[in-house]
Amino acid sequence: MSTFPPPPPARNPLARVRLDDLSPFDGASTPAYASAVDAIAESLTRHSAAAVELPAADAAIVRCGLESARAFFRASPGLYVYRAGRALDDGELSPACMVDAFRCLGNAARAALCAIARNLRLRSDAFSHLLDDNPLPLNEVSASELLVSFSHRHLQSGQSPILSHRSSMAEVDRGFVTLVASDHPGIEVCNPNGHWYLADGASGPNDLLLLTGRALSHVTAGLRLNSQYRTTNNGNRASLIFRLMPRANAMLDCSPISAAGHCIPQMYRSVSASQFMDDLQAEEHNVSLHLEAPSESQGNFVNEPSLRSVLSDPLSGAFLEDAMVLSCGHSFGGLMLKKVLEMARCSICYGEVDAASLFPNLALRAVATVVKMEDDRRLFHNAALRKRRKEVTENMDAQRRNGSSKENSEVGLDAESSRASKGVQYPFVVGERVLIMGNKRTPDKFVGKEAVITSQCLNGWYLVKAVDSGESIRLQYRSLKKAGVQQMQAQAQPEMRSQQVLTFLQKKQ
């Protein structure tokens, strides 16, 4: 009777990074740290997850926490949520080693967040102001949480205490990063291509599974997408899940990303962490209600990017009429293509770029041209509406001077205004001088400056160049105002006064 060799162990596609190499430190960056930062970023981009190897002392604490979870839930499966700083109620029991496990996993989560910030060309502590003080002040409870759970083999699919939805649906955490430690494989992750794979199938007892959440995706303006995962119930499984969450009074904005030169889509507005979490909770509640209702077309709900965002350059906003395909299959155009060629690396998959291997993406160029023609048509249509509105306003002024009915004029203006306000507004043309009024997100150095329209972007946005400094900034039409004769005269008055004083002194001499 012949015997067959055992099958080889499952290959884990995730990058496995040592926590000692990933932790920030004082002094110059070492090759090991730079390599760990690049490896964890590439793994998150390609596989939506990464593996972090703990040092021996921290691994012992995590194993103690897992054994404590098994002992705590030995009678029946359950879930326990631990937050640092929370006083236990009288008579309340908790698993052992929670304080040490919370501290150990919290330090690892903060190190991973620093590495992600560094990979995006930010300071390693760019997001530290959004987290709890470390250590916590007296009488303060942490926003981050540690979930301790244990599931039995006999649980039916979808009844795992870790997930709030069915196990076949994707779970996305709300925080910045999530670390998962378990004594049995059971976490499946969906990669960017939509394929599910067992992420912790080949992980060792000292490894943590690193996932990213929605708060991180928001503060990075979508540069670091969130991870979708689900649990599989294929055995008695104890797990520790640490979720690094923002403080309730923190403001989630993209100012560090904007300062680093990245383009910030309008959808990533500044919002308080409490409001952000409330909105996500309401969204998850609506999804769960939909899942409970009988339907033949239930499925995952994924926010798809708009057509214009796909067909436009994220840096300049111009349509990709010069789109080129890289050897990795991704396409770029405009300023982003120039930036990719300068870096010699794809900004999506981080693959190496050879300028000689580029070729035109004719299909993308054709679609971008068609959409641009449609936008131009709307632009001319809006210009005609503005002209009609101006004519109606002039007629109303004439009627007022002639003593006509005021009510009929107001009705006509409201009707025309409602029609003219529809669609995207393009009140300026390329080459026109404007005054930057700005908003709360406009840098102070641009507010009040005169600028020139250099390019027209999508959805009423313009690329303008300051006259005095020559710097460019991308602003919406609401932040701009026509530079009228009065502003130009006001700017010319100091020069006229100087000339008059000089003439007076010459005559006096």
| Containing structural domain, residue 118 | 16-259
Are residue 374 and residue 250 in the same domain, yes or no? no
Q: Does residue 245 sit in the same domain as residue 374?
A: no
- What Cα–Cα distance (Å) separates residue 474 from each residue in 74, 318, 456, 477, 480? 59, 11, 10, 10, 11
Strand order through the sheet with 196-198 = 196-198, 187-190, 228-231
Q: Which of 369, 305, 303, 304 is nearest to 333 (CA)?
A: 369
How is residue 487 annotated by DSSP? H
**DSSP 3-state of 458:** coil
Is there a single domain that holds both residue 118 and residue 247? yes
Within a domain: 352: no
The 3-state DSSP class for residue 51 equals strand
Domain boundary among 259, 277, 297: 259
In this structure, the answer to whether residues 377 and 252 fall within a common structural domain is no
| Cα–Cα distance measured from residue 239 to residue 217, given in angstroms and rounded to the nearest whole number | 25
Q: Is residue 37 part of a domain?
A: yes
Q: Considering 224, 259, 294, which residue would you say is the last residue of a domain?
A: 259
Contact 298, 288 (CB under 8 A): no
Predicted pLDDT at 156 = 42
Residue 108 counted as domain residue: yes
pLDDT at residue 455, as a whole number = 83
Q: What are phi and psi of 406, to 5 degrees?
A: -75, -35
98 in a structural domain: yes
CATH of the domain at 202: 2.60.120.330
Phi, psi for 237 (deg, rounded to 5): -135, 120
Which 8-state DSSP code applies to residue 137? Answer: P
The answer to whether residues 92 and 238 belong to one domain is: yes
Domain assignment present for residue 299? The answer is no
| Domain assignment present for 323 | no
Per-residue pLDDT of the chain (509 residues; tens, 9 = 90+): 444 444 444 456 788 999 999 888 888 889 999 999 999 999 998 899 999 999 999 999 999 999 998 888 877 777 888 998 887 655 567 888 889 999 999 999 999 999 999 998 899 999 999 999 888 888 888 999 999 988 865 544 444 444 333 445 678 888 999 999 988 888 899 888 888 888 887 666 788 999 999 999 999 988 888 899 988 766 678 889 999 999 888 899 888 888 887 777 777 888 888 888 877 776 665 555 444 444 444 444 344 455 666 677 666 667 778 888 887 777 888 777 887 787 787 776 667 777 777 878 888 788 888 877 776 676 666 666 677 777 777 777 777 777 655 445 454 545 445 444 444 567 888 888 899 988 888 888 888 888 988 888 877 788 888 888 888 888 888 888 887 644 554 554 555 555 555 565 565 55
User: Is 43 part of a structural domain of the chain?
Assistant: yes
CATH assignment at residue 458 = 2.30.30.140
Look at residues 288, 250, 256, 251 and name the one whose alpha carbon lies nearest to residue 164.
288
Which residue, 259, 275, 308, sits at the end of a domain?
A: 259
Residue 268 domain-assigned (yes or no): no
Q: Which amino acid is at 106?
A: G
Q: What total of structural domains would you count in the chain?
A: 2
d(CA 281, CA 269): 18
